[in-house]
């Protein structure tokens, strides 16, 4: 009996010792995880809170704005969506893995790239729960394109490139100051039009291109001189409003910048046909800018949302308005 009790006590002692050892090992694993976790920064964003790796090397952008802003900050993503609206970025896409179309990033393609950071805009919140399981993911709130500078600033902070971001923004304003010194007529009113397959739209003061025109010191026709809040109340849209052919005089100005851009080749062709119909009409021919030969067909970066598109618009302002 005594022998049985001895071996029972011995067995219990061994069991307790093993249990303690395992517990200590698990505790060390948690501490290691926490130590590793200290190499990232918690960032609050549109979809929650994410711990951003301090030394990420494989960034994936799931929208145009995130891609081109990363490029502007000196970081080339390893993967990005390819958009029909990003023809001006084709050289930048060289060597970048295609992860799908705008609004439709392919999760399998992203997973295969093995990113350590994913950036996007908050309209993709529906896939956040899935994509954030692949890598730390940050989604930026982007209510409308006129807020592009706020998004750029936030992205520079998330990517730990705040100083670089400030330098890029300073250069943007420096280029505009140079433009202001060279332009001869600040009183000109600049009209901005997009032709859709079914509509003609005026782009307003707080649209993406509208903010750049503001920064350039240029004024707008009365029909387009509405802030985002005013436009939302009047038209139900912060940055643009539709007009019919009978109101085409609202598209007039001292200068007109006009473009078409759709997501499909068929849509693009339909919009181009619409543009041809518009520009051949007598109502269009009666516009002041048309009669003075100051209508300029520009690329789709006029509806951009990032720093590279903004600088491309500045290039156009120098090209067409500085004589």
Lowest-confidence pick of 6-10, 106-110, 206-210: 6-10
pLDDT recorded at residue 4: 45
Q: Give the contacts of 116 (CB within 8 A, at least 6 positions apart).
A: 53, 56, 57, 58, 59, 135, 136
Q: What is the pLDDT of residues 246-291, one digit of tens each?
A: 899 999 999 999 998 776 677 778 888 888 888 899 999 999 999 9
Q: What is the pTM of this model?
A: 0.84
Lowest-confidence pick of 85-89, 184-188, 219-223: 85-89
pLDDT recorded at residue 7: 46
CATH architecture for the domain at 40-166: 3-Layer(aba) Sandwich (3.40)
Does 294 or 323 have the greater pLDDT score? Answer: 294
Share of the chain above pLDDT 70, in %: 87
Residue with tokens 């394109």: 145
Does 287 or 48 have the greater pLDDT score? Answer: 287
The yes or no reply on domain 175-321 and CATH 3.20.130.10 is: no
The CA distance from 178 to 68, in Å, is: 24
For residues 279 and 200, the answer to whether their CB atoms sit within 8 Å is no
Mean pLDDT of 30-54: 69
Share of the chain above pLDDT 90, in %: 65
Summary mean pLDDT of the chain: 86
40-166 and 175-321 in the same fold: yes
Domain residue limits, the chain: 40-166, 175-321
The CA distance from 233 to 250, in Å, is: 19
Mean pLDDT of 240-246: 93
pLDDT recorded at residue 263: 65
What Cα–Cα distance (Å) separates residue 223 from each residue in 37, 227, 296?
A: 53, 12, 19
The CA distance from 107 to 99, in Å, is: 8
What Cα–Cα distance (Å) separates residue 211 from each residue in 88, 123, 178, 322?
A: 20, 22, 17, 19
SS3 26: helix
pLDDT recorded at residue 38: 56
pLDDT recorded at residue 268: 74
Q: What is the pLDDT of residues 143-153, one digit of tens each?
A: 999 999 999 99
């Amino acid at each position: 009996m005594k022998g049985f009790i001895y071996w029972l006590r011995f067995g219990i002692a061994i069991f307790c010792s093993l249990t303690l050892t395992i517990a200590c090992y698990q505790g060390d694993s948690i501490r290691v995880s926490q130590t590793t976790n200290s190499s990232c920064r918690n960032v609050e964003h549109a979809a929650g809170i994410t711990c951003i790796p301090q030394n990420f090397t494989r960034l994936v952008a799931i929208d145009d704005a995130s891609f081109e802003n990363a490029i502007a900050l000196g970081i080339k993503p390893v993967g990005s969506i390819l958009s029909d609206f990003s023809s001006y970025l084709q050289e930048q896409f060289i060597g970048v893995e295609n992860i799908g179309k705008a609004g439709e990033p392919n999760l399998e393609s992203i997973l295969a790239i093995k990113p350590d950071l994913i950036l996007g805009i908050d309209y993709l919140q529906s896939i956040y729960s899935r994509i954030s399981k692949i890598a730390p993911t940050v989604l930026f709130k982007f209510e409308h394109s006129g807020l592009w500078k706020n998004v750029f600033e936030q992205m520079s902070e998330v990517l730990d490139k705040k100083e670089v971001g400030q330098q890029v923004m300073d250069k943007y304003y420096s280029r505009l100051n140079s433009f202001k010194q060279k332009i001869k007529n600040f009183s000109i009113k600049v009209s901005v039009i997009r032709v859709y397959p079914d509509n003609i739209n005026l782009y307003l003061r707080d649209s993406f291109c509208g903010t750049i025109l503001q920064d350039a010191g240029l004024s707008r026709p009365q029909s387009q001189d509405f802030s985002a809040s005013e436009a939302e109340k009047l038209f139900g849209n912060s940055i643009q409003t539709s007009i019919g052919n009978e109101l085409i005089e609202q598209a007039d100005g001292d200068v007109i910048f006009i473009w078409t851009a759709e997501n499909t080749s068929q849509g693009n062709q339909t919009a181009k046909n619409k543009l041809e119909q518009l520009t051949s009409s007598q109502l269009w021919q009666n516009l002041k800018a048309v009669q003075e030969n100051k209508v300029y067909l520009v690329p789709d970066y006029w509806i951009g949302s990032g720093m590279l598109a903004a600088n491309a618009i500045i290039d156009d302002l120098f090209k067409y308005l500085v004589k």
